[in-house]
Every structure is written in C-alpha cells, then in structure tokens.
Amino acid sequence: MLTVRISQDAWQGSAQYTITVDGTQIGGVRTANASHSAGKYDTISIPGIGAGPHKVAVKFLNDAWGGTAATDRNLYVDGIYLDGVSQGVSAKLSTTGTRDFSIGTSGGQGVAYVGEQILPAGWKPDVVESFNSGKGIFSHSWGPGVDTSVKGQLTIRSTWDDKDSGAMVKPAGAEKGFGYGLYSFTVKAEGHIGPYALLWPSTDKWPGPELDVLEILSNGQPYSTVHWKNASGGDSYRSNMWNGVDETQKHTYSLLWEHGRLTGFVDGKQMWTTTSNVPKDYAHGGENLAPSLGMQTRWNNGELGGKNWITAYEFSYADMNPLG
C-alpha cells in the first residue's frame, strides 16, 4: 500500500491536486484539508501498490498568491510511505505544476495478511476485537438473538418471534466511533436477507452515512452498500456486489475509508472502489462511524425460525497513519 501525506497553506480556498502512480492517475482531483503550519497532514492511502520501484507524481493544480507570505496558497507533500516504510521524500509545491518522486527502490511487500487483518507488513491495527470476552467493544446490543456462548465468536441470529437483534460500538456522537481507516470484519453468514456487518452513523441519526460492509440479497448474493443523506434529506444508496464470494464461509470483508474514496476487499483482494458520495469523518467536518453486527428481520419475512445468522470472529480497525 502506498500512503501519501499532504498538507497545505490555504488562502482564498484550498489547494487542489492529483496523484499519479506509474503513469496512471489515482482517483480524481483531490482537495487538501490539513494545515501545514499547524503541523497536520491528510493521509491518502492507495491500496494495491506493492513492491517498487514506482514513480509517484503529485500535481498542484491551483496556485494562488496575493503578494505576501500570508496570502499564499501552497501544497506540501509531507512524506510518501510504501507498506508503512518512509521513502524519505518531501516537497513544497509553491506554484502550479508537477513534482515527481521515485520510490520503492528498497522494496515493499504489498497488502498481505497479518492474522485476520489485511495490512501491509509492519503496520498494526489500532483496535482488534476478537470476542474472547463476550461482545467486547460491541457492547451496545439489543434483541433476543445475541449469542456469545462460544468464546471468540459473536453470533446474531434471527429468532422465532421475528425480533431485531444486534450488537455495536455505541453511537455516542460524531467524534466517537472511528474515522478514516481500514475496517475489517471476519465473519460468515447464512440465510437470506437480514444478517449484516456495517458501519453506522456515530450520531445515530439516519438517513446519514451508513456503510454496509456485508448484506445478502434474497438469492444469496452478498453485497455492500454506501448510504448517504441526499439533498432533500432522504436516504440515497448505491450497492457494490461481492461477486464470487460464498458468504457461508469465513471471509474477511474490509472497507478502506479515505478522504474521497472507498475501497472494498475480501480476504485482501480489492473487489471495488468508488469516489462517489464518500462521507467525511469527524476530523474532516463529517462524523465518525460505529461498527455494528446484526439481524434486521424486517427484511426477511417468510424466513423466520432462526435459520438466518451471522457469526463474527474478529473486527479490526487501523487508522492507516503510517507507523501508528
């Protein structure tokens, strides 16, 4: 995984830029957020970039200058990391134009398994919930179908009386839960319609940014969905299929949430990516998200009696800031 740290001097608007790797532009026009003078930076994580060498080009698109140091828009590349290893480069782009970097000459290992997580070698998750002590951080729970009887597993079942059940990190405010980063759920699920692993708005207000990591269609097709609050205040959504994945087997479903980009993985393999309707985390003016596992029985009328379930073996979160 390639990670680029970006910051800016904002003046009459923010610096805009593009990132190109080995001649291919990654995503669209990006807008810097973090203030260089405040010592902050945006972290842009680009999965699927393994061992080098690579050519990385950062293009500053919209320089502006009002004649003084205080009236100057600039873009900074504060660092480039390959698989968490600093490539020892940085640059200030004070005028519109492109800066090229050659990286990866000392190698890298690409995205790989570390336990159940898909993290580059040398990176560590910030949070790991292995369900060895009941619900763990998924302590905010409801309904009759929450089963912690097996150590190391959290199972949510549908029940004969068709009650919703679930367990989640408590959605206790915009700054709670987790922000940009890599979320992984190691789960298996059986049945049609109802079982889910998702990220819920940490304000607990819906419609809002809901990122469904795993849901199942009535024909057994697993999929993920991005929900957002539309201009008229209602819910809009778009789904991405987990094609070729058998959800009845244990898999690790991961969602990489970056500024302006969402990417889905199964067992470390990238399955889809999108730059449309990507929510912002709390640090960037939006709200964080709260991981949740559950059973929405409203979806599975006619399939009652406890045969729908989801079992989680692990949840992890890594903020993807290099080296912790």
Contact residues toward Ca ion (CB under 5 A) are 63, 65, 72, 74, 94
- Please work out, in degrees rounded to the nearest 5, the angle formed at the alpha carbon of residue 251 by the alpha carbons of 246 and 256: 115
The nearest distance, CB 95 to Ca ion, in angstroms, is: 6
- Per-residue DSSP letter, 278: P
The pair of structure tokens assigned to 21 is 């790797």
Residue (72 or 204) nearer to Ca ion, CB: 72
What's the CA gap between 54 and 56, in Å, rounded? 6
The nearest distance, CB 285 to Ca ion, in angstroms, is: 24
The nearest distance, CB 9 to Ca ion, in angstroms, is: 7
Residue (63 or 190) nearer to Ca ion, CB: 63
Instruction: Annotate 183-208 with DSSP letters as a single string.
Output: EEEEEEEESSS-EEEEEEETT--SSS
The nearest distance, CB 266 to Ca ion, in angstroms, is: 43
The nearest distance, CB 68 to Ca ion, in angstroms, is: 11
One-letter amino acid identity for 281?
D
Residue (99 or 170) nearer to Ca ion, CB: 99
The nearest distance, CB 62 to Ca ion, in angstroms, is: 10
Q: Which of 202, 113, 190 is nearest to 158 (CA)?
A: 190
Tell me if 302 sits within 8 A of 182, measured CB to CB.
no
The nearest distance, CB 37 to Ca ion, in angstroms, is: 14
Q: Which residues pair with 189 in a beta bridge?
A: 310
Residue (65 or 272) nearer to Ca ion, CB: 65
Instruction: Annotate 12-50 with DSSP letters as a single string.
Output: SS--EEEEEETTEE-SS-EE--SBTTTT--EEEEETT--
What's the CA gap between 28 and 7, in Å, rounded? 17
Length in residues, the chain = 324
The nearest distance, CB 78 to Ca ion, in angstroms, is: 16
- Please work out, in degrees rounded to the nearest 5, the angle formed at the alpha carbon of residue 49 by the alpha carbons of 322 and 20: 95
Query: 235: Cβ–Cβ under 8 A, 6 or more apart, which residues?
Result: 206, 207, 227, 228, 229
Residue (94 or 277) nearer to Ca ion, CB: 94
What's the CA gap between 84 and 322, in Å, rounded? 5
Residue (63 or 147) nearer to Ca ion, CB: 63
Residue (76 or 123) nearer to Ca ion, CB: 76
Residue (38 or 69) nearer to Ca ion, CB: 69
